[in-house]
């Protein structure tokens, strides 16, 4: 009888140990640093128990954790975690979580910019993790591989003595951190790439070949992670990004107003000019506004909202997620910091004020120019309402903190 009771107790303990160990890791303020620092990839579900979408995802997410644990047993490779945002509000505040469930990815302890926004089924989630674990480096085995790189993409290219070298390991780590922002390619075939690597390892940045720019070589220490990361990040993450219907939700979720250049798809000159002036005038404003460019043919609705058509391109517009404001004259984009003033006038409220009470000279000019009825109609009411606010995260998929 006593032996049977003892065995029963052992089974009960083992069952509970397995139960505790199964599913996603419960992350708290006491273990988050150790989890992030001890794994290359950490995928975290920020949830709230009262949220019905979180309740739907939680069992699926625990299944994902079990599957990943079985498939990727290598220690320190990948962890699947979850955070109760009600009990760990300091963590959710730190990572700007205001909707549930939010799925964020960390690489080498660093939060990636893009949240997971794909399907919330086990197969889709697992496929996402599988891609994150795979190397992001394009292997160059021959010179044909090098010449065959997509000319419509930018690359950071390295030629190394071998994959076990410290230089290559640093290259691999940075490529993993920036895999969403840039393309990395590397060779370790010394005989095939003797011309590219005559003596030592080298790394260079190759921009869009269509722009006929020369390769830019990295001259810092190749085994210095921080130095190479800063250089690569500068090359890979542009001040001006393209907004598409695929990434619009992601960009709106950053919470910054949009400064958008609408242009024809083949108008590279206007994009280059806009990029140059953003770098010149708005380098200290990037934390206050998102600088973007968009194909005007794809985003017809915002143009119509402004009383404009494709014939009026290029145009510069601010969308504050409440209203839209049109930059008066794109020909003056480079004059006397006018682009900077345009942005500052948004934050000061002057754009909205001037819309209702234009300066006398502006009124006279509008009368003399006999502007179209759509614009004069705007002057009698409010500025055009935001269009991009409609592309923010769906309330049919998330619970928002401001609903409490």
Nearest Cα neighbor of 110 from 27, 251, 203, 226 is: 226
CATH tag, 2-133 = 3.40.30.10
Instruction: Give the class (CATH, top level) of 241-391.
Output: alpha beta
Superfamily for the 137-236 domain: Glutaredoxin (3.40.30.10)
pLDDT tier at 358, thresholds 50, 70, 90: low
Nearest Cα neighbor of 80 from 91, 66, 93, 65 is: 65
* Res. 376: pLDDT tops 50: no
pLDDT higher at 28 or 283:
28
pLDDT digits (tens, 9 = 90+) for 32-72: 999 999 999 999 999 999 999 999 999 999 999 999 999 99
Which pLDDT value is given to residue 359? 63
Which pLDDT value is given to residue 400? 73
pTM for the structure as a whole: 0.69
- Which strand (E) or helix (H) includes residue 123? helix 122-133
pLDDT digits (tens, 9 = 90+) for 151-203: 888 899 999 999 999 999 999 999 999 998 899 999 998 888 988 888 899 99
Portions of the chain given CATH number 3.40.30.10: 2-133, 137-236, 241-391
pLDDT digits (tens, 9 = 90+) for 68-112: 999 998 888 999 999 999 999 999 999 988 889 999 999 999 998
pLDDT tier at 222, thresholds 50, 70, 90: very high
> Mean of the pLDDT values across residues 234-263?
88
DSSP states of 283-346 as a string?
TTTTTT-EEEEEETTT-HHHHHHTT--GGG-SEEEEE-SSBEEE-S-GGGTTSTTHHHHHHHHH
pLDDT tier at 15, thresholds 50, 70, 90: very low
pLDDT tier at 396, thresholds 50, 70, 90: low
């Amino acid at each position: 009888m006593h032996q049977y009771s003892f065995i029963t107790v052992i089974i009960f303990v083992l069952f509970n140990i397995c139960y505790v160990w199964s599913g996603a890791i419960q992350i708290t303020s006491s273990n988050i640093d150790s989890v992030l620092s001890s794994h290359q990839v950490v995928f975290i579900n920020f949830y709230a128990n009262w949220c019905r979408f979180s309740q739907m995802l939680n069992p699926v997410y625990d299944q994902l954790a079990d599957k990943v644990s079985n498939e990727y047993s290598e220690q320190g490779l990948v962890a699947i975690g979850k955070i109760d945002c009600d009990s760990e509000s300091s963590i959710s505040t730190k990572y700007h979580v205001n909707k549930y469930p939010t799925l964020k990815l960390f690489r080498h302890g660093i939060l990636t910019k893009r949240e997971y926004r794909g399907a919330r089924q086990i197969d889709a989630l697992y496929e996402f993790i599988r891609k994150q674990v795979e190397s992001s480096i394009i292997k160059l085995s021959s010179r044909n591989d090098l010449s065959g790189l997509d000319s419509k993409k930018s690359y950071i290219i390295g030629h190394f003595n071998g994959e076990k070298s410290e230089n290559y390991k640093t290259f691999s780590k940075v490529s993993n951190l920036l895999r969403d922002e840039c393309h990395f390619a590397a060779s370790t075939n010394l005989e095939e790439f003797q011309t590219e690597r005559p003596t030592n390892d080298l790394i260079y940045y190759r921009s869009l070949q269509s722009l006929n720019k020369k390769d830019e070589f990295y001259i810092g220490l190749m085994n210095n992670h921080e130095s190479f990361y800063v250089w690569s990040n500068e090359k890979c993450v542009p001040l001006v990004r393209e907004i598409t219907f695929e990434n619009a939700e992601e960009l709106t979720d950053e919470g910054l107003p949009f400064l958008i250049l609408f242009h024809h798809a083949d108008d590279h000159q206007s994009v280059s000019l806009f990029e140059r002036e953003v770098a010149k005038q708005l380098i200290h404003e990037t934390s206050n506004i998102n600088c973007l460019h968009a194909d005007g043919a794809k985003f017809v609705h915002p143009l119509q909202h402004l009383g404009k058509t494709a014939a009026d391109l290029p145009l510069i517009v601010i969308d504050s997620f409440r209203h839209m404001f049109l930059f008066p004259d794109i020909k003056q984009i480079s004059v006397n910091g006018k682009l900077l003033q345009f942005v500052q006038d948004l934050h000061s409220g002057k754009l909205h004020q001037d819309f209702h009470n234009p300066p006398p000279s502006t009124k006279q000019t509008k009368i003399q120019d006999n502007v179209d009825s759509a614009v004069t109609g705007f002057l009698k009411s409010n500025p055009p309402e935001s269009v991009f606010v409609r592309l923010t995260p769906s309330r049919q998929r998330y619970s928002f903190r401001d609903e409490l």
